Amino acid sequence: MSLFGSKGHRHLDGHKELTKHEEIISLVSGDNMVKQVYFPTMSPNGKPITYTVKEGDYVKVGSKIGTRTDFYVPIYCSVSGVVQASKMVFSPQVGRAIQHVVIANDGQYVEEEPLKTVTLSSSKEEIFEAIKEAGLVGMGGAGFPTYIKYNNPKNIDTLLVNGVECEPYLTTDFIAMQQDVDNLLLGCEYLMKASGAKRAIIAFKVHKDEVKEAIEAKLSAHENITICEVPDQYPMGWERTLVKQVLKKEYDKLPSEAGAVVNNAQTVISLGKVLSTGKVITNRLVTVSGDGVNHPTNVLCPIGTLASELVSSCGGYVEGDINLIPGGPMCAKAVKQDDFPILLQMGSLTILKFKQVETVPCLRCGACTMNCPAGLQPVEIKIAFERKDTDRMEKLNIMSCVECGMCSYVCPSHIEVTESVKKAKMIYRLMKK
């Protein structure tokens, strides 16, 4: 089948109306101000994070308190206050409880000295170093360190800004692009300089008139930046799909093969802020939405705020059993507890009423294959996983799966195909070591 034809793309009910025009709740100050923030001692891949603070130390907003060991990514404090004893707290990224550094918020928000700033006249190398020190990771959910994309880029023609936000319920990109067009465009200019790109294209879904009007009002001063409206289909926000849709190009492993570098819209906005002011990102906007929460809206919170505090600020859970999903409902997995911290890459908590679904045997209908945006055969991968047949998994190109959730969504038998493929990828990695 064609990888980028009509197959593999599907319009989903976005449920965006629940939050996109609601008033933002702030947990940064006032009566709702959080009392503590939590920072994990492990990266999402299980590698340790080295912290340079200890119990009793005083830290400020923007204090560098640690560094990841898998990649160089500095960890910055989101509040001012005193470091308390570490605590075991659940991590949905790692999948279990791990030690977290706990900092008591004194409510004063005393700021650390800012980082070194750069301008658009700074050298490519200076801008790269500033991006690296900013401590940013992809804010669209992937969490990949941003600076790595700009480490000696070659033959880059286009910076593609991903503001598609194709997961249902999420509206933080939609709001951020409207509210901070200046930093969105400034971030584009910085990243074009860092990558050597000749142009930038800001992509978002059709019918996002508020975003379109806000950006167009300021585009005249940026002749090499344009916008592109893309179809309201899932998973249009997957960078491989987006590159094909906007640039009409395909690639094997990385977008750079198609002359492009892709960044989430909020990542670009954040870079515009950090590089021009030296103030690191310590807060983020999170969509709390779904039919399982009383008052869906977007919440501004310090990095490290527990998810339970966001839910409480939105009126708590509705009565009955619910599914709490740290992320969008298509890609993320429900968890059984809400005492985990919000990290920089986490843009949503999707809360849905629990619905009992009966699973029946596979009908061999082919729906999962017909709707896979990566052109895979998900049910065949599931069978290979059950047989622990890694050679078959390899032939089925298992590592090309992006875990978008489409196969489970379309399955008439209600089989959790995506979950089986995720487990298959884990087994494949272990057995191929």
Among residues 14, 409, 2, 1, which one has the least CA distance to residue 244?
2
| CB distance 372 to 378 below 8 Å | yes
- Let me know if 401 is exposed, middle or buried by CB neighbors in 10 A (0-12, 13-18, 19+): buried
Beta strands (DSSP E) in 282-380 are 283-289, 297-302, 322-325, 348-353
The tokens describing 93, both together, are: 């990224």
pLDDT tens, the chain, 433 aa long: 334 344 678 899 999 999 999 999 999 998 899 999 999 999 988 899 999 999 999 999 999 999 999 999 999 999 999 999 999 999 999 999 999 999 999 999 999 999 999 999 999 999 999 999 999 999 998 899 999 999 999 999 999 999 999 999 999 999 999 999 999 999 999 999 999 999 999 999 999 999 999 999 999 999 999 999 999 999 999 999 999 999 999 999 999 999 999 999 999 999 999 999 999 999 999 999 999 999 999 999 999 999 999 999 999 999 999 999 999 999 999 999 999 999 999 999 999 999 988 999 999 999 999 999 999 999 999 999 999 899 999 999 999 999 999 999 999 999 999 999 999 998 888 887 6
- Cβ atoms within 10 Å of 119's Cβ, excluding its own: 12
Beta strands (DSSP E) in 69-190 are 74-76, 81-83, 87-91, 96-105, 158-162
d(CA 373, CA 331) in angstroms, rounded, equals 14
d(CA 344, CA 225) in angstroms, rounded, equals 26
Among residues 261, 270, 272, which one has the least CA distance to residue 222?
272
* CA dist list (Å): 244 to 3, 167, 260, 417: 10, 19, 11, 26
